[in-house]
Chain A
Amino acid sequence: MSGSLMSIGRSGLNAASMGIATTSHNIANVNTPNYSREQIQQKAAVGVQTGSSVQGIGVDVSGVQRSADALITAQVNLATSASAAATTQQSLLNRVADLLTQTETSITQAGDEFFGALQDATARPTSEADRQSVLSKANSFAVRTSDLDTQLGSMTAEIGQDLQTGVARVNANAQQISQLNDQIATQVGAGLSPNDLLDQRDALVRDMSKDIKVNALQMPDGRMQLFLASGDPLVLQGSVSKLSVVPDSGDPSSYAISIGGQTTGGIPHQLKAGVALGGVIGGDLLVQDDLADARNRIGRIAVGMAGAFNTQQTLGNDKSGAAGLPMFSTGPSRVVALPTTTGRVNVSISDPTKLQGSDYRLAYDGSQWSMTRLTDGTTTTFSGLPSPNTITASDGIKVDVGAIGAVAGDVFILQPTREAASDFQMLLRDTDKLASSNPVLGQATGTNAGTGNIKSVMVNGPTRDPNLLQPVSLSFTSATNFNISIGGSPAGTGALDANGNFSLNGWTMTMAGAARSGDSFTISPTLNSTGDNRNLVAMANVAKNPISDGQTLTSLNSDLAGIVGNRAASISVEATASAHLLDQVTQQEQSVSAVNLDEEATNLLKYQQAYQAAAKAISIADQMFKTWLTLAQ
């Protein structure tokens, strides 16, 4: 009788000390990340039949249970990835937006100052100081633009570094998870519940989620399989795939993630493009696209400005009366051949005013070429090549496909403006070389009877007509019709159009007032025209005129800053939202799993009391036994 009382008491003592031990374990781990609080599972031991009743025999502790909810844990992991991806993008994009909008780095500001210097020079075209100022501001515009491009380029390099560290962490974590999987499977196989190992594994998955999004699959043997968002397996039973950072096969200036079986020896392959991988890695990869787009756009600005100013320089005369030389040079267009491609093509810019600032995918199927604009997916096909062996796309680019013969299946990525700004340079060093004047001037002959005068003579671009400087005289036979003589020899007749315009030899003149029969006018080279500011006015007007795809420098800049700004703004909303979500689900998870000291204190008291009570029961049994012994004496 007292034996069973003793054993009931002992089972109570046991259960209470296990409770105290578990509570102490919980208290000890109050600040351990990802620790799941534990509770002992106790139940009444099955009693024994004594006569007509069943006598209880104490308490059984069936195990120590871990308070964890796999669903909430998965949610926290997802939220961790999403938040890390958004925060990574936010901080990078904010830096880009700062570069584009702050006075010290913005090319808008530099462009403003350049056009301002040109405007100032129109008032004093002969002033050395003003001409120098034009060249200096042109130079700082070029330097600022290429600096900005370099900054964005170095951000890409930084992203590469960040990816390397991230990938190294993921690989290390994947290895550890795989090892833990084996240990857990062994313990589960032995019927044990490896609570602390499970916690450790969850902590590793959580840590990994910061770098990249993983989907976890619980296996019945206790192992956990991990898959990337792209569907590629990262951790399977007995195999861990290794991630590595590689140059993107479609754009070697960007990085991509490649996965290859480490233990299985599978062939490494680049992760599918267009899948948001999540985490810092996913965020980094996404921002690369923004950087590439921004660099394409900055390159387009460089090419557009170079095109407009080089044309205007060529159409004007410098101080010595010679045709102006180009003012800017830009970096070359780039072609990337995909690894399987055997042919080679060259791309160049044929018309800066038509550039779209996009990359293109050029594919050859053996008979025809198809060119896809990557910003919007528009595809144009060209057949009948390689003769002629040049594709002139309506987007202002020209592709020479005859370099090394392409074969069916060849694919090229064309980046017409990506590197243009990286080597954007101002070429003029001598103020005399600034083409400030217009090479031709229209004059009325003094004896004219009418009121007509030549209001302006514009030189037509984009290149100078070889006959531009031939002296032309127009002898009017009526108010609008005239005989033309070039260099003193008759050269047919001409007439003013409805707007009073007439074009010849690469110039267009505009007549104001009314000419009379017998009047004559000359259009001849401008001589000794130091005070001629017409070409400076034309250059200053580039600010108002479209330089690329119908857009002015200002609108191209605003677009660029606007696109990055909007991306930064929306990612900032996303970052706030995902951080909030992460807080929420983390609290939920903690609500389930983490330790509450008050609760543990209560438990401690509870188990202490149970312990004291059980001890009392044993002591009473002991007294009963002694009493019985006394009776037996």
Chain B
Amino acid sequence: MRIATITLAQVGANGLSRSQSELYRAQLQFASGKRINSAADDPTGAVRAAELTVQKDTTAQYARNIGNAKNIMQFTDSVMSNISDSVQGARESMLQIGNAALSTSDRQQIALAMRGKLDELVNLANTQDESGRYIFAGYRDDTRPVQFSGGTANYTGDNGEKQIDLSASVTTTTNASGAELFFDVKGGNGVIETSAATTNTGAAKIDAGLVTNATALTGDSYSVKFSVTGGNTTYDVVDSTTGANLVSGAAYVEGSQIPVGPALSVSIKGTPLTGDTFSVAPAKTRDIFTTIRTVSDAVDAYAAGTINNAGLSDALRVGLANLDRGFDRIEQVRNRFGNQLAEIDRQTDIGTLRADDVKARLSDVVDLDMADAATKLSQAQTGYDALGKVVASVSKQNLFNYI
């Protein structure tokens, strides 16, 4: 092929410029440590990198969410642990008050200590976080959720659940509302509750009742009323919801099961007097605050002589049962927190793995393979040097040099 002189020059110039731009790119890559410095380097790679960057950011965001959830939940859990301790303290006080060997004033002393625990519990239930938000108030977190009015504790929060995403598919509830933790708790044995009328004068005591089949329960309330005539103790059972007389004048046998309704019976021990009444009703919600307050009030009433020994003992029985239900609930919620925190840890691990994976993939796409790049750079350099020499020598070669 015939080669024109201008072709030689152009080929040389083109080669040098190509080689120079290769050198430039290699240098730029070394300077930034990245293989892709603009979309022009590798348009599809740049798009892939942008996608992976989104994934990286999203994983980092979930890691931040996980950190937030963990902080909030660990703080709440530590408060709940204190609550649990205080409830245990109150429970011990109740057991001590039941000790028949104690004097009335001793009992009052213990009741006072129990009132102290109650104040502690109310304060704990009204715990605020670092930004002054009540942690057990549900969504109404700027209102003090637990307050006493008379002898009853009221909850002014709601049952709102605050949720945080731990990953694209896993969400966790980071709070426990006062409703869940304290107030939506059934007393008695969780299904029914029994009680002695405060006006009772006899020494008879009722037990917690026996439910043989929870689904057969009607939801009605019942009362058992005693009368003693000529040494014979009999009782009537009335469905206090419908007013129907279920049993009339049945003979009282101490400790025997008295059937009061479908699948429901109670046992009464001790000696009742005429007019003594015991009631059986579906369990109502009983919060620990009111429960403790009620027992403490009962001790005062006992000291004042308003209720007798059996009355105090019934109040203690009911109080302990309700407190245990409340304690169970607190432990349940703590258990939920424990499981959720474990899940959070698991999600942290998964998130870390995913973040590493995304990082590695992003690095594959964007980052410079130093060894490879170094080879390429030295190749480009060698090429450039060689080409420069060739161009220089070719441009010198000319027949005119010899004529």
By a beta-carbon cutoff of 8 Å, the part of chain A in contact with chain B is 30-31, 90, 93-94, 97-98, 100-103, 106, 108-109, 112-113, 115-116, 119-120, 122-127, 437, 441, 443-444, 446-447, 449, 453, 517-518, 526-534, 537, 540-541, 543-544, 554, 557-558, 561-562, 564-569, 572, 583, 586-587, 590-599, 601-602, 604-605
Contacts and interface: CB of A to CB of B under 8 A. Distances in A.
A540 B7 contact: no
Q: Which 3 pairs between the two chains have the least Cβ-Cβ distance? A: A97-B39, A594-B4, A531-B141
B159 A437 contact: no
B46 interface: yes
B30 interface: no
A446 B178 CA distance: 13
Interface residues of B, number: 64
A591 B5 contact: no
24 contacts: A98-B38, A98-B40, A101-B50, A108-B50, A108-B53, A112-B58, A119-B62, A120-B65, A444-B184, A518-B219, A526-B160, A537-B171, A565-B44, A566-B44, A567-B43, A568-B39, A572-B43, A587-B7, A591-B2, A596-B3, A598-B398, A599-B2, A601-B399, A605-B403
A449 B72 CA distance: 32
B332 interface: no
B64 interface: yes
A540 B165 contact: yes
Contact of A601 (B40, B131, B171, B400): B400
Interface stretch (B76-84, B132-140, B379-387): B132-140
A534 B161 CA distance: 8
A594 B141 contact: no
A517 B282 CA distance: 13
B108 interface: no
Contacts, number: 214
Nearest to A518: B219
A594 B6 contact: yes
Given A98-B40, A598-B399, A446 B140 contact: no
A595 B43 contact: no
B234 interface: no
Contact of B2 (A446, A529, A596): A596
Nearest to A579: B14
B50 to A, nearest CB: 4
Nearest to B217: A449
B403 A126 contact: no
Given A443-B158, A601-B398, A601-B400, A119 B284 contact: no
A122 B163 contact: yes
B183 interface: yes
Contacts of A518: 219
Interface string B140-180: 11110000000000000011101111001001001000010
A529 B6 contact: no
A93 B168 CA distance: 34
A602 B399 contact: yes
Contact of A528 (B47, B140, B163): B140
Contacts of A125: 162
Contacts of A537: 163-165, 171
B247 interface: no
Contact of A531 (B3, B4, B142): B142
Contact of B165 (A106, A119, A597): A119
Given A123-B72, A126-B133, A605-B403, A108 B61 contact: no
B85 interface: no
A529 B5 contact: no
A106 B50 CA distance: 9
Contact of A94 (B5, B43, B174): B43
A30 B5 contact: yes
B260 to A, nearest CB: 17
B160 A441 contact: yes
A532 B158 CA distance: 10
Contact of A529 (B68, B160, B285): B160
Given A122-B163, A531-B142, A103 B43 contact: no
Interface in B8-28: 10-11, 14
B54 A112 contact: yes
A532 B160 contact: yes
Contact of B131 (A119, A124, A543, A604): A124
Contacts of A596: 2-5
Given A565-B47, A566-B44, A123 B5 contact: no
B163 A441 contact: no
Interface string B275-286: 000000011110
A293 to B, nearest CB: 15
B49 interface: yes
A594 B7 contact: yes
Nearest to B162: A533
Contacts of B139: 437, 441, 526, 529-532
Nearest to B158: A441
B5 A126 contact: no
B254 interface: no
A605 B403 CA distance: 9
B140 A558 contact: no
Contacts of B141: 126, 530-531
Contacts of A126: 131, 133, 141-142
B40 A97 contact: yes
A473 B114 CA distance: 39
Contacts of B57: 109, 112-113, 116
B165 A122 contact: yes
Given A449-B191, A561-B51, 13 more contacts: A97-B40, A108-B54, A115-B61, A126-B141, A127-B131, A530-B140, A531-B162, A543-B58, A566-B47, A572-B43, A590-B10, A594-B5, A598-B5
B69 interface: yes
Contacts of B398: 597-598, 601
Contacts of A540: 165
A120 B327 CA distance: 33
B304 interface: no
Nearest to B168: A544
Contacts of A94: 38-40, 43
B1 interface: yes
B155 to A, nearest CB: 9
Nearest to A120: B64
Contacts of B133: 126, 530-531
Contacts of A572: 40, 43
Contacts of A597: 5, 398-400
A445 B69 CA distance: 29
B164 A122 contact: yes
B39 A101 contact: yes
Nearest to A97: B39
A595 B142 contact: no
A313 B392 CA distance: 71
B50 A98 contact: no
Contacts of A449: 191, 219, 282-283
A108 B51 CA distance: 8
A590 B50 CA distance: 45
Nearest to A528: B140
Nearest to A112: B57
Interface in B167-215: 168, 171, 174, 179, 183-184, 191
A228 to B, nearest CB: 29
B163 A533 contact: yes
A447 B160 contact: no
Interface string B363-403: 00000000000000000000000000000000000111001
Nearest to B401: A601
A528 B61 contact: no
Given A101-B49, A594-B7, A595-B4, A527 B399 contact: no
Contacts of A517: 219
Nearest to B214: A449
Contact of A527 (B140, B159, B285): B140
Contact of A443 (B14, B46, B159): B159
